[in-house]
Amino acid sequence: MNRKNFVKAAISGRENFSVFGTQIVVGDNLRRNRARRREASWNFQKRFALGLRVPTKFNRVKVREDRVLRQPADLGSPTNKKNMENLIEVIARAYITYGDDILLCRVKGNEHYFLPGGHVEFGEYAEDALRREIQEEIGEEIYDIKLIGMNENIFSQKGQERQEVNVVFEAKIKNRDIKVAEDHLEFKWVSQEEFRGEKILPEGIKESVINWRKDGQFFYSRQ
């Protein structure tokens, strides 16, 4: 057996083989090394799944199930409650149109509006989160979804400092007559001219969308 085949045999897990007619038995050290390599490979896979963007739907589901199982215990500790105050929120929003009209949303009782959408959950892509949020809020499907810009927003709300990253899409909807599925929200359609006059937060998104309508360029804004 040449050196190349010797290495192959050792790595493959065979515990005994012959080299030039001499019987070779894999010792305990080599078996332990193989076990350590297998354990290191498994640990790497777990770190990849928990720390990076998971590339397959199967693995994303496993990560999200793991998050759900851990969440009650994690959020119950005082340390993690404090850390929750410093989280950066990722929100998927959409400039949704039906013909020339634009769909706006607001919490009942508030003066300002915002582009419809919602929070991106762990293990979820922004576009998937947008589809899910719109479906949950008005029971409608959106289509022709295109990424048009991003906005970073640092602000204070009820005495607490907040930070969010808004991923902004363009989208269309088939039905103009929508039915709101969440009691705390209300929606309305506005014209292009009315859009300019409405109070829409974050302000950076409103101005960026107006400019995007003119030049069609991907935008980044912050405030």
The percent of residues above 70 in pLDDT, for the chain, comes to: 62
Q: In which band, very low, low, confident or very high, does the pLDDT at 195 lie, cut at 50, 70 and 90?
A: very high
Q: What are phi and psi of 147, to 5 degrees?
A: -75, 125
pLDDT (tens digit per residue) in 128-180:
999 999 999 999 999 999 999 999 999 888 888 889 999 999 999 999 999 99
Is 65's pLDDT higher than 50? Answer: no
pLDDT (tens digit per residue) in 89-122:
999 999 999 999 999 999 999 999 999 999 999 9
Is 46's pLDDT higher than 60? Answer: no
Is 40's pLDDT higher than 50? Answer: yes
Is 123's pLDDT higher than 90? Answer: yes
What mean pLDDT is predicted for residues 41-61? 47
All structural domains of the chain, each given as residue ranges with its CATH number in brackets, are 3-79 (no CATH), 89-222 (3.90.79.10)
* Distance separating alpha carbons of residues 223 and 203, to the nearest angstrom: 8
Alpha-carbon separation of residue 16 from 28, 34, 61 (angstroms): 12, 15, 41
DSSP 120: P
- Quote the distance between the C-alpha of residue 1 and its chain's center: 52
Q: Where are the beta strands (DSSP E) in the chain?
A: 16-19, 22-25, 88-98, 101-107, 117-119, 142-157, 160-173, 185-190, 219-222
Q: What is the mean pLDDT of the chain?
A: 77
pLDDT of residue 155: 87
